[in-house]
Structures are given as C-alpha cells and as structure tokens.
Structure 1
Amino acid sequence: MKTKTYSYVVTAFGAAIIAVLAQMTIPLPLIPITGQTLAIGLIVTILGKKNGTLAVLLYILLGAIGLPVFSGFSGGLAVIVGPTGGYIIGFLVQAYLMGLYMDKFGVNYTHSIIANLIGMVITLTFGTTWLKIVGDLSWTAAFMGGVYPFIIVGIIKAVAAAWIGVIVRNRLESAQLLNQLA
C-alpha cells in the first residue's frame, strides 16, 4: 500500500540523517570534510531518486531558513551564498543524478558505487566552481582547497555509502517497506 504520509515521514527521516551526519566534521583551511556526502549517498541509495532527492531538498530548505543543519550546526542563507554554498547546491544535483543512474542501471554494489562516485564528482565540481567565484580564487587554488583534500576520503565515503546503502535497501525491500513509498 502506497501512502503519501509514509513517503513524507521517510523523506523527513532522510533529511534528518543528512543533518546528523553533517555534524561529523574534520576542519580544513577552506572547506571542511563532513559526513554530508556520505549521508546523501546513503539516502539516495536506500530511498531512490524521488524520495532521496526530496530528502536532500528538505535538508537544504531547513538549512536555508536558518535551522542549524549544515556542518558545524550552521544554517541560513549566508551559508548557502558563502564558500561552501556550491557544495550544498551540488548535493541536490548529486542526489537527482545518482538516483537517475540507479533507476537506469539498478541498485547493486557495482552500480551504487559508480553512482556514488559520480555524485562525488558532481558535488566537487559545483563546490569548487562556487568556491572559485565566491573566494575570488584561481582555478589552481580552488582545486587545491576544494577538490584535492576530498578525493581519497570521497572515494571511501562513496564505497561506504554504496555498501551500507545496498544492505539497508535490500533489508527494507525484504520487509516490504520501500514498496510503500508514494
């Protein structure tokens, strides 16, 4: 049985998971390493394109209105237009395109890892481009501060999100809990 209420609750739960994992932060000079991309990879792998993307959108909207859901318990439009704003906007594109990829090729370990790696590249591209513009940096400086420190950890998070996400998704499907999403 599909219900909109169930979809709303699952979507809100997804946004909450992103907000919680966003607080896992390793500070770096320009952009911190956070658990946000891990959370987004997990949520999209588990919930799929529609509900995963809606969870990310809800997360961004909650942060935009000032709730402290972004890394470091920050929130507000100033964060979105600040140096990390491109990453935050990139999360939405990441979620949608990851979901689109998995809709087309399926949700198994291989395709989930590929989708999560694609998501990492998308977020880093949006984030670094925005960092260059807002920070008035050269492309080299933007790359060194906005991509280089995140490559290895991004790959690790992509593989972890895919691995855990597929396990959780398979268990939710076995319990017939995902087929209730509207």
Structure 2
Amino acid sequence: MLQSHNRLKMWIISALFAAIIGILAQVTIPLPLVPITGQTLAVGLAATILGSRYGTLSVILYGLIGAIGIPVFSAMSGGIGVIVGPTGGFIVGFIPAAFLTGLYLEKTSFTVINAMIANTIGMLVTLMFGTVWLKFAVDTTWTGAFASGFLPFIVVGLIKAFLASWVGITVYKRLVSAKLLSTPHQVSS
C-alpha cells in the first residue's frame, strides 16, 4: 500500500514538473533559428529533484502534451510540427538529458557539485541532439548547424546548469527532509 502511494505521489509530482517545464518554456530570448528558453533549466530541475526515472517521465509527459497540440513549447507553440521542425531535436534531446542527469546523481550523490557535472552533461546531450536535428531539418552544413544550434548556447547553458544544480539540490534536500519526496532509491516501479 505504501509503495503504491509513493508511486502515485511521484507520478503526480512528475506531472507537475511537466507543467513547470511548459511554463518555463515561455521564458524566451529570441535568436534567428533557435531561441534561448527556460525549458532546459526546467528539465535540469526536474532531473535534479526527481532523479532519472521520474525526471525523465516529466520530460516525456511534457513532450507528449506539446506533441498533441497543447501550446507548451516556446512561444506558446505546440503540435507535432514543432517536434519535426528545426528545434525538435532539442525537445527530443531533453529525454536522454533528463535520464543521464538523474542517473549521474543517483550513482554518485545529490550534491551541488555532482548536480553541476550532471546538468552540464545533460546540457551537452541536449545541444548535440538539437544540433544534429537542426542540420537535417534545415538542410544546412555541419558548421552552420554547430554555429546556430550549439555555440550560442554554451555559456547560457552553463549558467542554467548551475541554477538547476543549486536550486534543484536545495529543493530536493528540503523535500526529502520534509518527507514530501522519496529518494530515488526508496521508490521502485
């Protein structure tokens, strides 16, 4: 019974994080091909706080909600066209990024330093997926894709990785100490 209760609670929290990702996606700094958004910060927060399983679940829910047309992607957009468009690779890349970020923390420890390493890995994974996708979606060169989909986001990505790490670990520790969140090792599928 307790196991079932914990799992339901984590599913609900994952759904809340999917909503948080959608809300932070609306914080946008427009650039020519790919805007800077709050999505990656929210993905980092979800993975840092919820771990690999439930952080990834929140990202998958976010992607599915957007894919069916609910305007949760940046600039209040939604639909499968966004997923297959130039920025779709970043959205798809959020899934392995969240999983790897959470997994790194679960395999090491939930500290700000480990979270910074994990979120930096997650940022790089997202940028790699986005850059490869962008290259084929707009039929550009590798240099053009790298210049548009990777380079402009490194410094901002590191800042967001730090914020996700610091805020995420602080919130994670407080939620665990208040018994509002189970550690990843206490919740099984």
Which residue number in structure 2 is paired with residue 119 of structure 1?
122
Q: CA–CA distance in 1 between the matches of 2:117 and 2:8?
A: 31
Which residue number in structure 2 is paired with residue 16 of structure 1?
19
Which residue number in structure 1 is paired with residue 78 of structure 2?
75
**Please, which of 52, 55, 62 is the counterpart of residue 55 of structure 2?**
52
Alignment of 1:98-137 (within 5 A): 98-137=101-140
Shift of the alpha carbon at 1:5?
2.5
Q: CA–CA distance in 2 between the matches of 1:146 and 1:169?
A: 31
**Please, which of 141, 151, 155 is the counterpart of residue 152 of structure 1?**
155
The structure with higher relative contact order (CA 8 Å, sep 6+) is 1
Q: CA–CA distance in 2 between the matches of 1:50 and 1:151?
A: 26
Q: Between the two proteins, what is the percent identity of the paired residues?
A: 56
Which residue number in structure 2 is paired with residue 36 of structure 1?
39
Q: CA–CA distance in 1 between the matches of 2:73 and 2:44?
A: 16
Which residue number in structure 2 is paired with residue 88 of structure 1?
91
Q: CA–CA distance in 1 between the matches of 2:61 and 2:187?
A: 17
Q: Which consecutive residues of structure 1, in runs of 5 or more, have no partner in the other structure?
A: none
Q: CA–CA distance in 2 between the matches of 1:5 and 1:124?
A: 32
Q: CA–CA distance in 1 between the matches of 2:59 and 2:39?
A: 10
**Please, which of 53, 64, 68 is the counterpart of residue 65 of structure 1?**
68
Q: Is the 8 A contact 1:6 1:181 kept in 2?
A: no
User: How many residues are aligned here?
Assistant: 182
Q: Is the 8 A contact 1:24 1:71 kept in 2?
A: yes
Residue identity in the other structure for 1:59: Y
**Which aligned runs of 4 or more in structure 1 are off by greater than 2 angstroms?**
none
Comparing 151-160 with 98-107, greater Cα deviation is found at 98-107
Please report the TM-score for the alignment, with normalisation by the length of structure 1: 0.97
Q: CA–CA distance in 1 between the matches of 2:66 and 2:109?
A: 31
Q: CA–CA distance in 1 between the matches of 2:187 and 2:24?
A: 23
Shift of the alpha carbon at 1:9?
1.2
Which residue number in structure 2 is paired with residue 168 of structure 1?
171
Please report the TM-score for the alignment, with normalisation by the length of structure 2: 0.93
Q: CA–CA distance in 2 between the matches of 1:143 and 1:45?
A: 27
SS of the residue aligned with 1:178?
A: coil
Q: Which consecutive residues of structure 2, in runs of 5 or more, have no partner in the other structure?
A: none
Q: What RMSD, in angstroms, separates the aligned Cα atoms of the two structures?
A: 1.1
